[in-house]
């Protein structure tokens, strides 16, 4: 990812970490508590209106828009708000919800054909072990049901990640707004069925300022800004490059919950959380490959490989150089072994390298490092076999005796 996109992903992690505390404050005001499904409907009503009248529909199918709305918005937040209304702490919810990273890896393997590596599978196993530790620790002090509901929310988020990845929308903000239109009416209807019309009307009539501010924060910063950036990044990069930034969400969430809500996790929850985050890190973070320069004897040759790992012009030169050294100063052997190196130069010509120039440089290396070799004959032989049959090849052989054309660096 580019530095700019990495900074945007970091911003999303911070906004989402604070989001959990904002949700908790809005669900539990000093007056009548907010029905969770109604609160989600309010949030996405603010997301959709009036933005939908000014933002064009994304260039994806209606099926993708509905899928993102159902899984990433309605499913994830409906279940998350329900779990927090039932007593799930905000900080712990921010931690457990990151199981979506592990679930995204598994769903991507089954749906997108992104075969997980052994490293990813090991991370999934470690993450599941961490979740088990958190579940055991949580069950000792509180009901386990809210935690299971958050896991269901994580699964819904993972499914939404897959749908957004397949859609590859050019406008992440457009996808957020138009998919958000799927949420308000169904969840408001569910709230009427689950909570009853009396509870819904009472909550609306006694709406507290903290709930209004919470809905505004979650709508503007959590959804419009956060998911607008998130969906755009998923459309530009593989899931494995984007989702690792969510590792920072529970760090921000638990710190904010400790400072604002005085939530202190238990020892088992901390230990399980560390295992979970370690598993997520193993699953999605890839080690940076370390390349080593090619060494010939005591000398270092730069640029031995081409752009895609194939030998480039300098790589062919290194092959010719090695062939010349192998001749050990024997003039008769030098020409024959150097001709083998010139074959590598011919391969470099296929990849767009200047074979004639490479042959000349190879002959020059032989002149500089193999005393007694017939440089001009070797140059002509290399030019005839690897580069062409015109007068330039013979010229390259004649000029190859100039030591300053040699490329190896001491």
Looking at the fold, whether 272 and 306 belong to one and the same domain comes out as no
Q: Quick check: is 118 in a domain?
A: yes
> Is 410 within a domain?
no
284, 318, 348: which is the final residue of a domain? Answer: 284
Q: Of 254, 284, 314, which residue is a domain's last?
A: 284
> Packing angle between helix 36-48 and helix 209-217, nearest 10 degrees?
50
pLDDT tens, N- to C-terminus, the chain (410 residues): 788 999 999 999 999 999 999 999 999 987 678 999 999 999 999 999 999 999 999 888 999 999 999 999 999 999 999 999 999 999 999 999 989 888 988 898 888 887 888 888 898 999 999 999 998 888 887 889 999 999 999 999 999 989 988 887 666 788 889 999 999 999 999 999 999 999 999 999 889 999 999 999 999 999 889 878 887 887 788 766 787 787 889 999 999 999 999 998 888 889 999 999 998 888 877 665 554 544 545 444 444 444 444 444 444 434 443 444 344 444 434 444 444 444 444 444 444 444 444 444 444 443 444 444 443 444 445 444 444 444 444 444 444 444 443 333 33
What domain range is 319 assigned to? 295-405
- In this structure, the answer to whether residues 356 and 327 fall within a common structural domain is yes
**One domain for residues 165 and 206:** yes
Residue that finishes a domain, picked among 284, 309, 344: 284
Domain count, the chain: 2
269 in the same domain as 304: no
Classify residue 290: in a domain, yes or no: no
């Amino acid at each position: 990812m580019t530095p700019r996109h990495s900074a945007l992903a970091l911003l999303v992690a911070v906004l989402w970490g604070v989001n959990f505390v904002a949700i908790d404050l809005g669900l539990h005001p000093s007056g009548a508590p907010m029905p969770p499904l109604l609160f989600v409907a309010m949030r996405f009503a603010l997301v959709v209106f009036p933005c939908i009248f000014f933002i064009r529909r994304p260039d994806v199918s209606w099926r993708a828009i509905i899928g993102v709305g159902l899984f990433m918005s309605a499913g994830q937040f409906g279940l998350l708000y329900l779990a927090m209304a039932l007593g799930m702490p905000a900080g712990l919810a921010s931690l457990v919800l990151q199981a979506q990273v592990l679930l995204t890896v598994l769903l991507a393997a089954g749906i997108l054909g992104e075969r997980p590596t052994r490293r990813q599978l090991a991370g999934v196993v470690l993450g599941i072990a961490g979740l088990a530790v958190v579940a055991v620790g949580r069950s000792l002090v509180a009901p386990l049901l809210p935690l299971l509901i958050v896991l269901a929310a994580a699964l819904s988020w993972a499914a939404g990640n897959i749908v957004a990845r397949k859609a590859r929308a050019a406008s992440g903000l457009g996808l957020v707004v138009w998919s958000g239109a799927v949420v308000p009416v169904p969840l408001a209807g569910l709230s009427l069925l689950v909570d009853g019309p009396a509870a819904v009307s009472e909550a609306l009539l006694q709406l507290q300022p903290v709930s209004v501010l919470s809905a505004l924060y979650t709508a503007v910063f959590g959804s419009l800004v956060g998911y607008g950036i998130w969906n755009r990044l998923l459309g530009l990069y593989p899931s494995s490059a984007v989702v690792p930034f969510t590792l920072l969400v529970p760090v921000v969430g638990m710190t904010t919950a400790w400072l604002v809500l005085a939530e202190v996790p238990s020892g088992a929850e901390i230990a399980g959380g560390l295992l979970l985050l370690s598993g997520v890190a193993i699953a999605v973070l890839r080690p940076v490959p370390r390349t080593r320069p090619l060494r010939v004897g005591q000398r270092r040759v730069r640029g031995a490989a081409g752009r895609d790992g194939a030998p480039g012009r300098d790589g062919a030169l290194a092959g010719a150089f090695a062939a010349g050294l192998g001749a050990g100063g024997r003039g008769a052997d030098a020409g024959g072994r150097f001709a083998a190196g010139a074959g590598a130069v011919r391969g470099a010509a296929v990849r767009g390298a200047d074979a004639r120039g490479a042959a000349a440089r190879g002959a020059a290396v032989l002149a500089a490092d193999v005393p007694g070799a017939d440089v001009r004959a070797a140059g002509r032989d290399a030019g005839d076999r690897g580069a062409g049959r015109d007068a330039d090849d013979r010229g390259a052989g004649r000029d190859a005796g100039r030591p300053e054309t040699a490329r190896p660096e001491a």
